[in-house]
Amino acid sequence: MPRTSAATDLTRRHRREIALISLVAAVFAALVYELWFARGSLNNDEVAYVMQARAITHGHLFPVPVEPIDAHRVWFFVARPAGLVSKYLPLVSVVFAASLLVTGSLAPILALQAAALPWLVAGLAHEVGLRGRQVVVAAALVSLSPLVLMETAIPLSYQLYLVLITATWWLVLRLGHRRSSHEVVTTLAVGLLAAAAAAVRPYDTVLLLAPPLLWAGWSRRADGRRLAAPLVAGALPVVVAIGRYDDRATGAPWRPPFNLLEPSDTIGFGMRRLYPEQDAHSFGPLQGLTGLGLHFVVGLLTWLLAGAVLLPAAALAWRRSNPAARTLLAATACYLAGYWIFWGPWNFSVLWGDGTRVLGPIYAMALTVPIVVTGLPAALAWIARHGRWARGVVAVVLVVGVVQLGSAVAQARVDAGRTRDLLALADRARADGPLLFDTDPPYLGHPVSNLVDGVALSAFSEVPPAGAVQPQLLQLPKAVYGPRPLTYSLSREERVEADEVRVQVSILERYADVLVVERGGHTRACLLAHDSDARDEPSLATATIRVTTTDVLGCDDAPVPAKWQRQTAQRCGDTTCLMLAVFRVDDDGSTSRLTLRELPVLTSASTVAMLADTTVIASSGHGWIRVSST
């Protein structure tokens, strides 16, 4: 068979068009990242990648833990003898660290990844049998899809993985077709790229590369042994490096750290959760099918450009496809089977749900390329057969994709604005030294990976050293980022003693109305003062109380909610504790509790002692308070 390349079938005009697609994707990635994602997105995995990347720029492959460990638990990291170990392998962080060292920003590497993808898709499309303008269309449909565009702007693993796996597919198919003029070099590159892809997403790589490698091996079975050595040689450096990393991280070179934080976060059916403090969820075959349907079918219909046409076209393409296309379809089938028994899509689409409005079906990212390059010929043939009617359908589905992208960008802009406003409120609260409520999970960087003057801790800052002045906490309204606010816990015990202790309570919750204070059988209710009257805006609600040896003073005569009176099990029976509960009052007069916190109080003669700032209240889990004496 003659040796050809994608370039031989592309005119200068075609190459200019691909270059334009590449430029548009790169500009979008850099611009959207800088405008709305530089301070974090809804996907908390960023914390793991970016924190490790920043540690690498300081010469630490494993971030250095800060004592006490329980006070500085970072999202998706586990303290081990080597240091803080991320649940993810370090290659993505190494790539991000290189960008930070060279440019000081993550935007350039995100733009570079976005720019590379159209050319790789074009090469793969040519190997599958597409020609000329079809190759350009395939590159555009992948690179300009809402899912791919949004993920290019976020520092996660999905875009880098898509680049690596597409490049590997392309070279594997070239070897199978005997189109490479330097087969040994190409085989070395396949080994290196395959190992690199496995270092980014190991499970995905096994599923997506097994069929193409088997097909290429079968097609080259006469001389396959000649290429086995360079394939292994190409993969060996990455395999050895990852083995050494795993050995330091987990104690075994064959054990990756993915489920080091939570062993039940794994493949297969059973009880599943992301972290030890989360409620376990039963994940079975039905949940797996639900996750597949919502994530890979419903999600791709709108998040893949022209997905409503390409998805059924790819599903029906097997019989008329050539062997190269069939091997990509087989890889897609393996991937779907593998994700049926993994709870990630179900967790993302059903349990969380909110993430898809900005991020899209993230696990389906790797399937955008095979769906487009295998489904496009059948889709174009269908359009040719049905003429104007089919072109009208395509126009509609393209508009749907544009609308989906616009909606995602608009929501990302709204989220970024809310984050900015909320952190500004928290910064103002910090100046007054208030008590800020918090809830589980007790990890830095979850769910908002932002840092504004030390208000919220994240991967974008150095973890404060032990003994340093610690930033305060904020509780984010649930309507903004979901039900799990940021949490920060400290484990030093400090007390402030006086004849009375002044406590200023502050909570970032626009629906908070009443603070109930209970101590030693004495109940008070305070109206929380809001800095904004609008309930659709972020608001800082505050109240001030004075704790004496026997009582609590300073509240007005707001009515104590009836629900609190009935919750006798959660009321303080003596003067050694102070119970604080925040309620909201609905329009019909009914009340519902937003949060609860118990604080220890010690009295001696005429002195009252309470825990001061940077402490943990053991009786109520992880919490943080700040009090000051008067």
Residue 67 pLDDT class (50, 70, 90 cuts): low
Tokens of 626: 């700040």
Q: What is the predicted pLDDT for the residue at 452?
A: 26
Candidate from 102-106, 151-155, 507-511 with smallest mean pLDDT? 507-511
Residue 96 pLDDT class (50, 70, 90 cuts): very high
Q: Rounded to whole angstroms, what are the CA distances from 3 to 181, 259, 423, 450?
A: 7, 45, 59, 52
Q: What is the predicted pLDDT for the residue at 536?
A: 64
Among 81, 162, 80, CA closest to 117: 162
Candidate from 97-106, 183-192, 306-315, 436-445 with smallest mean pLDDT? 436-445
Quote the percentage of the chain above a pLDDT of 70: 79
Q: Which residue has the higher pLDDT, 422 or 627?
A: 422
Among 53, 83, 50, CA closest to 65: 83
**DSSP H or E stretch at residue 338:** helix 323-340
Q: What is the predicted pLDDT for the residue at 468?
A: 35
Place of tokens 């209240």: 617
For the ranges 260-269, 438-447, 488-497, the maximum mean pLDDT occurs at: 260-269
Strands 501-508 and 435-436: parallel
Question: What is residue 579's DSSP assignment?
Answer: E
pLDDT tens readout for residues 122-175: 999 999 999 889 999 999 999 999 999 999 999 999 999 999 999 999 999 999
Tokens of 376: 């496009």
Tokens of 285: 């075959």
Among 184, 186, 185, 210, CA closest to 197: 210
Mean pLDDT across the stretch 379-394?
A: 90
Q: What is the predicted pLDDT for the residue at 485?
A: 35
Measured at the CA of 285, the angle between CA 283 and CA 289, to 5 degrees, comes to 100
Collapse the DSSP code of 86 into the 3-class scheme (helix H, G, I; strand E, B; otherwise coil) and give the result: strand
Residue pair 538/418 in contact (Cβ under 8 Å)? The answer is yes
**DSSP H or E stretch at residue 80:** strand 77-80
Question: What is residue 434's DSSP assignment?
Answer: -
Q: What is the predicted pLDDT for the residue at 47?
A: 77
Q: Could you give the CA distance from residue 445 to residue 456 in angstroms, rounded to a whole number?
A: 8
Look at the pTM and tell me if it is higher than 0.75: yes
Residue 193 pLDDT class (50, 70, 90 cuts): very high
pLDDT tens readout for residues 445-473: 654 433 222 233 322 233 333 333 333 33
pLDDT at 54 over 50: yes
Q: What is the predicted pLDDT for the residue at 294?
A: 94
Q: What is the predicted pLDDT for the residue at 50?
A: 84
Measured at the CA of 360, the angle between CA 190 and CA 353, to 5 degrees, comes to 130
Candidate from 310-314, 492-496, 556-560 with smallest mean pLDDT? 492-496
pLDDT at 221 over 70: yes
